[in-house]
Amino acid sequence: MTLALRDAPAAEANPFRGSQDGNSHKVDACSIVIFGASGDLTKRKLLPALYNLSLDGFLPSPTSIVGVARKPLPDDDFRAQMKEGIQQFSRRRPANEAAWNELASRLHYISADFSDAGSYEKLRADLESVEKRNGTPPNRLFYLAIPPEFIAVAISNLTKSGLLARSNGNWSRVIVEKPFGIDLESARQLNRQLQQYATEKQIYRIDHYLGKETVQNLLVFRFANGIFEPIWNQKYVDHVQITVAETVGVEGRAGYFDKAGVTRDIIQNHVLQLLSLVAMEPPVAFDADAVRDEKVKVLRSLRPIRESEVQILTSRAQYAGGASGGKTVPGYLQEPGIPPESTTETYAAIHCAVDNWRWSGVPFFLRSGKRLARRATEIAIQFKAPPHLLFRGPAQARMEPNVLTLRIQPDEGISIKFTSKVPGPAPVLQPVRMDFLYGTSFGVEPPEAYERLLLDAAAGDSTLFTRADEVEAAWSFITPILDTWKSLGIADLDTYGSGTWGPRSADDLIARSGRAWRRV
């Protein structure tokens, strides 16, 4: 055929890489080194994700996976533990024996104390030996699934031992788990420490929400369709609600959660990330910096909430005892491990304003809580009513605003609510909902968020990871609220019944603007 063709991509170092197969993803073979390999995250999320990537052929064969933890453990015992994790938590189970055996042959365990500088020499030697054995080039992806207080010391030691050095076209990257600080000052300090030992391009701050299919689809939905962007602004949007609701309580995380609270745990990172994706301007390109530049602009446009406004524009509460999921559950202060005088919020709602041209006058209502009525994470964009109401009779009383809902979990999908005429002679109107659900439209299970993010990090694509300035901009908005709450003590701390949709003060917060929370 002699046909007009789009030209091939620019010449690559490896001319055999790259294809038009939408399922292929360019990843260099590397060593994925997991610090904190004995922890829950490794067993529940990371290894199942790596197994699925391997099963789908996304991990180049000579990739090595190395677990690092303090406790000495033979490779085979580590493999057995990880296989158990896959059998229990993988989205595809039971494990395919051939695929598992192949992955297991490249799965190793190294005992090292990540807080001890001396351990890193041994780690380096052991890692080099694993790489040599498996034919893995010295590309390294370190996943720090360790307590936040050890992050800086681990990166410092990785650098000092030369493990983060790059040479001869090989790379070293490090994935850092949240929390990225507990307030603005600690976040800045952590960023300074990280950047002292690694470049920003080597640091991948992971927020697993960004790996979810619907979150990624948000960008596609907005910027690959021509019909939504023209109405995605203050002229047509009445307000935006972002909800992250959980039915569970603290569930064995009492120690961590009571120090953090739902605002640090969920709103500062997940919810503000969702807000920035909803509100951002179109990036100049779909690459890491262009996307993150636009996101950080949104975070910087958030109108600061002054101390005097905190009780009007925010709500915080703790759950009381009640019934959740048909079971009687204790109140937050009665949960094991929670001090009876704790003022930590298990629910928070914030009325935000994005001060820019696009969103001027459009309130963004954020809420997140534990022990709520349903588990649901979604973004709802409520549009303004038509400028002239043609249908005004009593039979048209059910005319409701258009709502576009992007559901992130469960049942990832998108729905649009619009008004329709009920069949019959009279002009009776009724809201109807049109749904697009990933699960019932595409029979294949979308990959887990960690699969996508691990693959992206190995491919050097940091679009779905949080940059230092994003973290700091988010903390700049949240820290003054937290400080005011702290100074207020229990003065504004509300309660809500377990299994409900949150406290009265949150209903009041949104009612003050003449709006109401959606029933999710």
Partner 1 sequence: MSVDTEIPANARFGSGATLEITQIERELQRLWKDAAENSTKSGGGPVVRACSMSLVAPCSNDLQFEHVATVVEQTALRQPCRAILVKIDLDNKKEEIDATVSTVCALGGPDQKRVCHEQIQIFAAAGSVKSIAPSVLALLVPDVPAYVWAPCEKLLATPILPELSLSADAILLDSHRYSEPFRALERANAIASAHPANRALENLNNAAGSSGGFGVLDLEWVRLQTYFDATATLFEQQGARAMIHDLRTLRIEFAAREVTAAINNTADAKNAARTTSRDWITPALYAGWFASRLGWTLGGERAMTSPGLAELQFEGAGGRRVTLVPRIANDRAGAILNIEFSSSVGRARIARAPGAETGDLSVEVSRLSGPANISYRFQTLDDAEALSRALTRAPRDIYYERAMPISMAFAPK
Helix and strand element counts for the chain (H, E)? 16, 16
Contact, 440 vs 199, CB < 8 A? no
**Token pair recorded at residue 47:** 């290894």
437 belongs to the binding site for partner 1 (CB under 8 A): yes
16 belongs to the binding site for partner 1 (CB under 8 A): yes
Shortest reach from residue 192's CB to partner 1, in Å: 35
91 belongs to the binding site for partner 1 (CB under 8 A): yes
| Options 263-271, 307-315, 435-443, 511-519: segment touching partner 1 (CB under 8 A) | 435-443
486 belongs to the binding site for partner 1 (CB under 8 A): no
- Alpha helices by DSSP H, listed for 56-182, are 75-89, 97-104, 119-134, 151-160
**Token pair recorded at residue 110:** 């190294």
Residues 6+ apart with CB under 8 A from 507: 516, 517
**Token pair recorded at residue 212:** 């979810």
CB of 73 or CB of 414, closer to partner 1: 414
How far is C-alpha 213 from the geometric centre of its chain's CA atoms? 11
CB of 136 or CB of 156, closer to partner 1: 136
Residue 204: name the closest of 463, 444, 383 by CA.
Answer: 463
CB of 339 or CB of 410, closer to partner 1: 410
Contact, 469 vs 222, CB < 8 A? no
Shortest reach from residue 442's CB to partner 1, in Å: 6
Shortest reach from residue 139's CB to partner 1, in Å: 10
Shortest reach from residue 486's CB to partner 1, in Å: 42
Q: Which of 108, 208, 239, 270 is catalytic?
A: 270
431 belongs to the binding site for partner 1 (CB under 8 A): no
10 belongs to the binding site for partner 1 (CB under 8 A): no
214 belongs to the binding site for partner 1 (CB under 8 A): no
CB of 135 or CB of 337, closer to partner 1: 135
Shortest reach from residue 233's CB to partner 1, in Å: 26
Shortest reach from residue 134's CB to partner 1, in Å: 7
Give how far Cα 93 sits from Cα of 90, 98, 332, 410, 446, Å.
6, 13, 35, 20, 15
Contact, 381 vs 278, CB < 8 A? yes
- E strand or H helix that includes residue 65: strand 64-69
Can you tell me the distance from the alpha carbon of 84 to that of 194, in angstroms, rounded to the nearest whole number? Answer: 34
Residue 320's CB: how many other CB atoms inside 10 A?
19
Residues 6+ apart with CB under 8 A from 419: 398, 399, 400, 402, 429, 430, 431, 432
- E strand or H helix that includes residue 243: strand 237-245
Among the listed residues 31, 42, 52, 54, the single contact to partner 1 using CB under 8 A: 54
Residue 367: name the closest of 187, 507, 218, 236 by CA.
Answer: 507
3 belongs to the binding site for partner 1 (CB under 8 A): yes
Residue 270 is a catalytic residue: yes
CB of 62 or CB of 401, closer to partner 1: 62
Can you tell me the distance from the alpha carbon of 434 to that of 121, in angstroms, rounded to the nearest whole number? Answer: 59
CB of 360 or CB of 440, closer to partner 1: 440
Shortest reach from residue 99's CB to partner 1, in Å: 7
| Options 39-47, 183-191, 365-373, 433-441: segment touching partner 1 (CB under 8 A) | 433-441
Can you tell me the distance from the alpha carbon of 300 to that of 496, in angstroms, rounded to the nearest whole number? Answer: 32
Among the listed residues 38, 41, 44, 62, the single contact to partner 1 using CB under 8 A: 62
2 belongs to the binding site for partner 1 (CB under 8 A): yes
Among the listed residues 31, 111, 119, 134, the single contact to partner 1 using CB under 8 A: 134
Contact, 261 vs 384, CB < 8 A? no
308 belongs to the binding site for partner 1 (CB under 8 A): no
Shortest reach from residue 128's CB to partner 1, in Å: 13
Give how far Cα 412 sits from Cα of 80, 409, 451, Å.
33, 5, 17
102 belongs to the binding site for partner 1 (CB under 8 A): yes
129 belongs to the binding site for partner 1 (CB under 8 A): no
357 belongs to the binding site for partner 1 (CB under 8 A): no
| Options 34-42, 130-138, 306-314, 416-424: segment touching partner 1 (CB under 8 A) | 130-138
| Options 81-89, 131-139, 304-312, 459-467: segment touching partner 1 (CB under 8 A) | 131-139
The count of residues interacting with partner 1 (CB under 8 A) is 47
Residues interacting with partner 1, by CB under 8 A? 1-8, 13-17, 19-24, 28-29, 54, 56-57, 60-62, 91-92, 98-99, 102, 105, 134-137, 435-437, 439-445
**Which residues are marked as active site?**
270
